[in-house]
Amino acid sequence: MVKHSQATTIRDVARQARVSAATVSRYLNRSAPVAAETGQRIQQAMRELGYSPRLAARALATHKTYTVGVISNALNYAFFGPLLRGMDEVLREQEYRLLMATCIAGQDRGNLPFGPHNTDGVVVFANTVDDEQLIEWHAVGFPCVLLYRLPPGDLSFPCVNVENHAAVRQLTEHLIEAHGRRRIAFIHAPDYHQDDLQREAGYREALRRYGLPYDAALVLRGDYRREQASRAIEAFLARVLSDCDAVVAGDDDLALTVLGALYRAGVNVPEQVAVVGFDDQHFAASLVPPLTTVRAPTETVGRVAARQVLRLIRGEAVERETLLPTDLVLRRSCGCAGQSLRKGLSESYHPQMLVGR
């Protein structure tokens, strides 16, 4: 008996064929070899369930919208301005419009604002669209570029990332070697992207290199909302301040919150506690004290993502992953006073050292 249902998804086909959704996607999109017997099971499952994604995809493809959607989990932080500006500049040059919306992975399943029905392609920020939806888009060949995360499994979605691990490792090493910090806390962003895991890995590697113990009590995980960051960070610092002489914040917004919490607690930065961030947002150099951070090419990330999604829309080849370099910017919040402190920041990866006021 054939089951005809508009609600049938690639996951239903996978379950019926006793394979993974990624395998069904590879078979439908011809992106990788699939065993003949497996392909026969998938075809049989599709017939039984009445699933024909390519017919719908081709029908949709005849109606170009000249729009690209960007799906983020927030738009109200300084970080997003350069990112969206970079995308918009590239898309406008090609007479495409940029549409923006927010989603949270796992909460908006089945109610996504953008997709093949209303855009020619999407740029997807981390922690917004779940893997199952990405697999379905891949199966129908919908142009999609991922930001700050890798694609699920071995699917061929292009992604754009920045260098995180080596930069945070060297930033932490700078705190240890140049400023003698030994009890260094790490604060994750509440969004908890793959970037955050890479940054913590860099932090932990620096501790290992200098023979310092990793202490989970000095790590604040991203289990709070951005709106609750101030309270979460103040409570965290109240617990660890007596045993902490530096804080590595997962991004500059968090570093700003840390500086405010330390000021209210009467703690001097950097004399008592050094603070460093990530991104080098526009306000970083104007803080008191100016913030030592990692300069990420956020606007360039937006431009690259926009170029990639346009190539996908045109059916052109794209790079699987674009990894953009980052720079260390040394300012007063770590204890530097304007001098270049390059010593000890060598080996393997060498982000450029910039010295700010």
Q: Which domains does the chain have, with CATH numbers?
A: 64-162+299-324 (3.40.50.2300), 165-296+326-355 (3.40.50.2300)
What's the pLDDT at 65?
83
Is pTM beyond 0.85? Reply is no
What's the pLDDT at 10?
81
| Cβ contact 190:225 at 8 Å | yes
Q: What is the mean pLDDT of each run of 10 residues along the chain (357 residues)?
A: 54 89 78 79 87 56 79 81 95 93 70 86 91 88 93 87 96 97 93 85 98 96 76 93 95 94 95 96 94 96 97 93 95 78 34 42
Q: Pairing between strand 97-102 and 144-147?
A: unpaired
What's the pLDDT at 3?
43
What's the pLDDT at 250?
93
Tokens linked to 169: 């490792």
Q: Pairing between strand 353-355 and 327-330?
A: parallel
Q: 8 vs 109, 152, 324, CA distance in Å?
A: 14, 21, 39
Contacts of 208 (CB under 8 A, 6+ apart): 214
One-letter amino acid for residue 155 of the chain: L
What's the pLDDT at 291?
97
What's the pLDDT at 348?
34
C-alpha neighbours within 13 Å on the C-beta side of residue 112? 24
Tokens linked to 268: 């001097």
What's the pLDDT at 156?
84
C-alpha neighbours within 13 Å on the C-beta side of residue 273? 27
What's the pLDDT at 53?
64
Q: 152: cis peptide before it, omega within 30°?
A: no
